[in-house]
Amino acid sequence: MRMNLSYSCQSVRAKAILAAGLYLFAAGFLLLHPASLQGQEQKVVWSDREKPIADEIGGLRALPDDVRGQATKKLAIEIRQLPVTPNKLRLANSLAMLSTEGDFGHDMLQEVATTLAAALHEQPLPAEKGQPPRPYVELAELVRYEHVQASLDDSQFAAAVSKVEADNERRQQADFTLTELGGKSWTLKDLRGKVVVLNFWATWCPPCRKEMPDLETLYRQFKDQGLVILAISDEDAGKVKPFIVQQKVTYPILLDPGRKVNELFQIEGIPKTFVYDRTGKLVAQSIDMRTRSQFLEMLAQAGLK
């Protein structure tokens, strides 16, 4: 998951937060952006059954990709077997945010979604300032973008599904102008006729860093066929420029220090990627990190193969 929160980074720094035993869980809304944690952290007391699961979730990013999927699936099943406590929903939501950082298999994602839906069924959450709490949105995004099934008769889940669709409509209509590190300005609506990839990221986000080499490879492969990748960061140039030089990224890096474009696109988790076809239609998006093969599937929906 995933952050201005995901941040799915939907999932940002979930490993560090879990490993330290710290979590902010206010009315079910999981906030993971470092700035959001200042002065608000709560120490979670894990039971003897919960603590090993929390530790394993905290170590998921250290696992090889071919091991991580099975480990995540096992954890989802173990969480479902826990007694009903607030920690159970914390664990289910945290696992869901980490489950989308790559391609670990549809079966795994289904187990994770089933676990999160079951935890929400056991412990329904009230609306947060008129909005569905983040775990409901997390589940709705899994259903919408990862094509899993979830059965949950809950008004907040229905509201989350509606929110996801409304956010998509706003992204379809959105336009912006931002300046890249080199000084060139880019306007989204001026790029009709191109296949446009918007990638929201940050230097501190591990999944963002992990997917950048694949984005660079795809940019070099398809730029002569009309592919434009615009990577948008809300950090300042002094932090972003040396990182980009080190990473040897050649696609445009746009700066959004006031977060106006992040807010326009309803970015609650990074990395997050949107693909527009040559007519300007939003044809694909991800809620988290993607692999090269997953990016290729997204680009194919815009006509690039």
Helix (H) or strand (E) run with residue 198 in it: strand 195-201
pLDDT of residue 43: 84
Spatial distance between the Cα atoms of 9 and 256, rounded to a whole number of angstroms: 17
The DSSP annotation for 105-124 comes to -HHHHHHHHHHHHHHHHHS-
The whole-number average pLDDT for the span 253-276 is 95
Report percent pLDDT > 70 for the chain.
Answer: 86
Task: Evaluate if residue 2 carries a pLDDT over 80.
Answer: no
Task: Evaluate if residue 14 carries a pLDDT over 50.
Answer: no
pLDDT of residue 12: 41
pLDDT of residue 9: 58
Side chain identity at residue 15, one-letter code = K
Task: Evaluate if residue 13 carries a pLDDT over 50.
Answer: no
What are 171-210's pLDDT values in tens digits? 999 999 999 999 999 999 999 999 999 999 999 999 999 9
Fold of domain 177-301: Glutaredoxin (3.40.30)
What are 124-162's pLDDT values in tens digits? 999 999 999 999 999 999 999 999 999 999 999 999 999
Phi, psi of 285, deg, nearest 5 = -155, 160
Task: Provide CB contacts within 8 A for 267, sequence distance 6+.
Answer: 4, 200
Task: Evaluate if residue 1 carries a pLDDT over 60.
Answer: no
- For the chain, the structural domain boundaries read 14-167, 177-301
